Each structure stands twice: as C-alpha cells, then as structure tokens.
Amino acid sequence: MAALVDELLVVLHGIWNRRWLALAVAWGVAMLGWLGIALIPNSYESKARVYVNTQSLLEDKVGITQVQSQQALDRARQTLASTENLERVVKETDLARTVSGPRDLAAKITMLREGITVMAQLDPSMIDISATSADAGLSDGANARISQQIAQKLIDIFQESNLSGDKVETRQSLAFLDQQLAERGKQLAAAEQKRVEFEQRYAAVLPGAGSIGDRMNAARQEINTIDSQLIQAQSGLSAMNGQLAGTPQTLPGAGASGGPSALAQVQADLASMRARGYTSNHPDVIAAQRQVDLLRRQSGGGAGGAPNPAWLSIKSMQAERAATVQGLQARKAQLQSDLNAMMSRQTDEPGLAAEQERLDRDYQLLKTQYDKMLADREEIRLRGDVKTEAGAIQFRVINPPSLPTAPAAPNRPLLLLGVLVLAVGAGIGTAFAVAQLKGSFPNAARLEKAMGVPVIGSISQTLNAAQVAAERQRMKWFASASGGLAGLCLLLIVIEFVQRGLA
C-alpha cells in the first residue's frame, strides 16, 4: 500500500512540475472545442399531435372495413414525407425565400426529409408530427418560426390527403368510369343492332329464342307435337265420318209440320252464337248456318220427314274436327317450309350458325362488362359519399405546432462543460506523458534501483526568499489562468442562455 502511495505521489509530482504545459494544452483544446461548438447551428424542433378517428357506422354497410380504413390512414402517414409534399412545404413556408433554383430546392427537400418525423402512438388514432429546422444561413428566431410552419403545413397536407384526397380520387374515378361506360354503351348498342339485323334476316322465321340450332330444334319438336295432335284429330274425324254415315239425315213420320219449329230453333241457336261474339268463321257458326240452309231447303221442297237432330249434331262435330285437322296441317306445312328454308340457307352459308354465336358472344361479353362497370360506379359513388359527406374520418388537432423557445440540438451548455473536462484531461495526460518520457529519477529509490548501487542520501530543493516570492507569483498566474479557463466556460454558458432568451 505504501508503495502505491509513493508511486501516486511521484506521478502527481511529475504532473505538477509540468503544470504550465498541462495548462497550455488545456487552453488549446478548450478553445478549439468551443470554436467547433460555436460553429454548430442551432436546431429548433416543433411538435404537434393530431387525432384521427377512422371508425364509422356507415363504412361496414358499404363494404369499407375498419382494417381498410386504417391501412389507408397508414399509407397517407407513410407518404407524408414524399418529395411532392415536401416541395409544397418548401414553397408555402418561409423556406421559399432561401431557394434560388432547382438545386437549392432539392437541398431543402433533403434537409426536410431528414428533419421530419411522423410517428403513431400505442393508440393508432394518435399521431405525433415533429419538424426540425437547422439552417445555418438563418437566425435562431427564423429557424424556430420555420419549424412551426413546417409542422403546420404537414398537418394541413395530412388532413387534405385523408379528407379532400378521397373526394378528388372519387371524382376522378367516377369521371373515368363515365367515359368507359359511354364507350361500352356505344359498342353494346352496335352489337345489339347487328344481333337484331341478323335475327330479322335469318332466325326470326323460326319459333323460339336462342341460336339458329336451338330454333331449328324447337321447330322440329313443334312439328313432332303437331304430328301427334294431327293423328288424334284425324282419328276423331274418321270416327265422326263413320257415325255420320250410319245416322239418317231425316226422321220418317214426323211430318212437315215439324220443319218450321226445327228451323226456328236452329235460327235461335245461331242468333245466340252471334250474340256471344262468335264470328262467321267459327266452326259452330258454320255448322249452324248449314243446318239453317238445309232446313230451309227441306221446308221449301215439302220433303216428308223431319231433320234428324243427331245427324245435325254429328255433322257439326265433323265440321269442327275437319277444321282442326286443316289447321294442324297448315301449321305443320308452314313450320316444315321454314325449317327447309333455314336448312337450305345453312347449306348455302355454312358459317351462319357460327356468325350468330359470335354475335351473341360479343353481345353478352359487352353486356357483362357494362353491367359490372355500372355496379362498380355505383359502389364507388356510395363509398365516396360515405368517406367525404358522411364524415367517415374525424380529424382533430390535439396539440397545435409549438413555437420552440430553445434549440433542440445541440445541447451547448452540456457540450461546453464536456469540452472543459476533455481539455483538462488532455492537459493532465500530456504532462503525464512528458514526465514518463523524460529520463530523470524522481527519488533516491528509483535511482538506486536503476543503478544497482546503494544511494547514501539526497538533497532536497532549497529556495531563497527571492525564489520563494517568484514561485508565489507564478502560482498566482497559474491560478488566474486556470480560473480564467473555468470562468470562460461559465461565460460561454451564460451567453448561450441569453441567446436562447433573445431567440
């Protein structure tokens, strides 16, 4: 322990003997350090906090989920420091006065990008915006004002990108869709016109709807149905013919007196049919008219016997069945003629069916696209109304941008003290290094150890009165110089606080 104390005393004695060298180094390092600190420009930071609420009762109703709204908000926050937005900040603040060309503008944008911070809190609705201005060419007061202007302009841009930005995007989207709908509408009308003209030329002659093949199949099916109905009608007509052949036309022994009453009855039936709206072409009217003519001839000829009512009824049914057979045969002939004509056209024009399929396919494709665009336009319009007019996003400034009164960086008082400590350490270190390099022996023990011979004794320093007075004077100068170094540091700290107050 005693040896360590001796070594420490030796080191301190060596440093003390070279105290003027240590003081000179300390002054030099301190002056250089304080000069470097003075050249560092002050950086002023303005902070603001905004509240953005993306919750809305209408968003989920129109398909806008909370996740989508938050993602849109995050994108707007991340793109706030884009080159376009920062260019607006430069041009719409006092920074525009310091810009003289594109190169200066690019430099200001780079400086702004490094000094802007947009950070979301634990609550995603809370967003902190900070802006820093550290332009060496401006005064402290100007940097403080510009930092506040930058933060305020960022808030304005952020609000526009979330509120009016949606309205602009919606308007542009609707204009684009309206243009596309107009073009698709013209194409759809042209395709419809071609389709109608084709059907009028070819497919309209056949029953049903769809392609030519579908219509031809429908015509064949209808012909088959008519064939079945025609067989039944012809069977019924044959039966009526057989019954009519076996039924007498008149009843013998009734006398001619019954003729007028039968004629009157048939005429009454005919008048009743006409009253019900039956036309002259109706089978019942035709049969009744034949009975009237027959009875009139019989009454005028004076034939014996009265008309047989059963024969008249069967005759009427026979006429009805005959008319049904004729109608079915006419319809079948018409369908077969149209079918033969279409088959002939297909033979002459092999690509007829393919042409119709192409026209139908083009029409259906255009119609599907048109309907989808129409639905998309309505959905975008509704979403835009919800986002802009219904107040889907609530934006409120919690803490407006502050006007900084003290620079955020650098912390000059702390740096000044740090330089002072560093300067003192550098001086002491220099004195210690020189003492170690100097080839002298601070005490008799080291001399004895180095020479290997015993040291009989040592003579301490003796000073006369004049030397003691001179030494005291040098101590005063050293104390004054050391105190001046500390006092200069304190003065610089006081000047820094005064400048902050003036700023």
Query: What is the tens place of the pLDDT at every residue in 52-93?
Result: 765 543 344 444 455 544 555 555 566 677 778 888 888 888
pLDDT at 432: 84
123 lies in the same domain as 82: yes
The order of strands in the sheet holding 116-120 is 116-120, 126-133, 44-53, 394-399
pLDDT at 421: 93
Tell me the pLDDT band of 28, cut-offs 50, 70 and 90.
very high
Exposed, middle or buried, 281 (CB in 10 Å: 0-12/13-18/19+)? exposed
Mean pLDDT value of segment 113-142: 76
Taking Cα atoms as reference points, which of 64, 29, 122 lies closest to residue 392?
64
- 234: pLDDT strictly greater than 80: yes
Taking Cα atoms as reference points, which of 203, 230, 213 lies closest to residue 333?
230
- For residue 18, give the DSSP letter: T
Beta bridge partners of 143: none
* Within a domain: 230: yes
pLDDT at 63: 45
145 lies in the same domain as 253: no
CA distance 253 to 377: 90
149 lies in the same domain as 240: no
pLDDT at 396: 76
Angle made by CA atoms 83, 85, 86, in degrees to the nearest 5: 65
Mean pLDDT value of segment 433-443: 70
308 lies in the same domain as 241: yes
Query: Among 367, 399, 431, which residue terminates a domain?
Result: 399
220 lies in the same domain as 317: yes
Mean pLDDT value of segment 220-226: 85
Predicted confidence (pLDDT) per residue in 194-212, tens digit: 776 766 665 544 454 555 5
* Within a domain: 232: yes
140 lies in the same domain as 253: no
Tell me the pLDDT band of 373, cut-offs 50, 70 and 90.
confident
What residues contact 339, with CB distance under 8 A and at least 6 apart?
206, 216, 219, 220, 223
Mean pLDDT value of segment 255-261: 48
pLDDT at 442: 61
CA distance 416 to 36: 10
Task: Name all contacts of 262-270 with Cβ < 8 Å and 24+ positions apart.
Answer: 262/295, 262/306, 262/307, 262/309, 263/292, 263/295, 263/296, 263/299, 266/291, 266/292, 266/295, 266/312, 267/292
Q: What does the block give as tokens for 268? A: 């009454």
Q: What does the block give as tokens for 325? A: 């057979």
pLDDT at 449: 66
Beta bridge partners of 395: 52
Q: Which residue has the higher pLDDT, 356 or 23?
A: 23
* Within a domain: 490: yes
140 lies in the same domain as 259: no
51 lies in the same domain as 123: yes
Tell me the pLDDT band of 495, cut-offs 50, 70 and 90.
confident
Q: What does the block give as tokens for 178? A: 């309206």
pLDDT at 61: 42
- 465: pLDDT strictly greater than 70: yes
- In order of 47, 366, 495, the CA distances from 502 in angstroms are 21, 73, 10
pLDDT at 392: 47
Three-class SS state of 280: coil
- In order of 39, 209, 215, the CA distances from 226 in angstroms are 109, 19, 16
- 490: pLDDT strictly greater than 90: yes
Three-class SS state of 460: coil
Q: Please give the mean pLDDT across all residues of the chain.
A: 75
236 lies in the same domain as 328: yes
Q: Which residue has the higher pLDDT, 456 or 220?
A: 220
pLDDT at 417: 92
* Within a domain: 72: yes
Minimum mean pLDDT range among 261-270, 389-398, 453-462? 389-398
pLDDT at 25: 92
Which residue in this structure is represented by tokens 């200001």?
A: 108
Mean pLDDT value of segment 405-426: 86
The residue ranges of DSSP E strands in 246-390, in sequence order, are 250-251, 306-307
pLDDT at 418: 92
- 395: pLDDT strictly greater than 80: no
- 33: containing domain: 2-40+410-502
- 254: pLDDT strictly greater than 50: no
Contact between residue 103 and residue 90 where contact means Cβ atoms under 8 Å apart: no
Mean pLDDT value of segment 339-363: 65
CA distance 160 to 120: 18
- 248: pLDDT strictly greater than 60: yes
354 lies in the same domain as 224: yes
pLDDT at 33: 92
* Within a domain: 368: no
Contact between residue 128 and residue 119 where contact means Cβ atoms under 8 Å apart: yes
69 lies in the same domain as 32: no
Predicted confidence (pLDDT) per residue in 262-316, tens digit: 666 777 777 777 767 777 788 888 888 888 788 777 665 444 456 677 777 888 8
Number of domains observed in the structure of the chain = 3
Contact between residue 307 and residue 212 where contact means Cβ atoms under 8 Å apart: no
Query: Among 399, 429, 463, which residue terminates a domain?
Result: 399
7 lies in the same domain as 108: no
Mean pLDDT value of segment 238-244: 77
Mean pLDDT value of segment 361-369: 81
pLDDT at 64: 45
CA distance 96 to 138: 13
Distance of CA 138 to the CA centre of its chain: 42
Give the CATH number of the domain where residue 54 resides. 3.30.1890
Q: What is the DSSP string of 466-486?
A: HHHHHHHHHHHHHHHHHHHHH
* Within a domain: 182: no
Minimum mean pLDDT range among 182-196, 244-258, 375-389, 453-467? 244-258
* Within a domain: 172: no
* Within a domain: 184: no
pLDDT at 29: 93
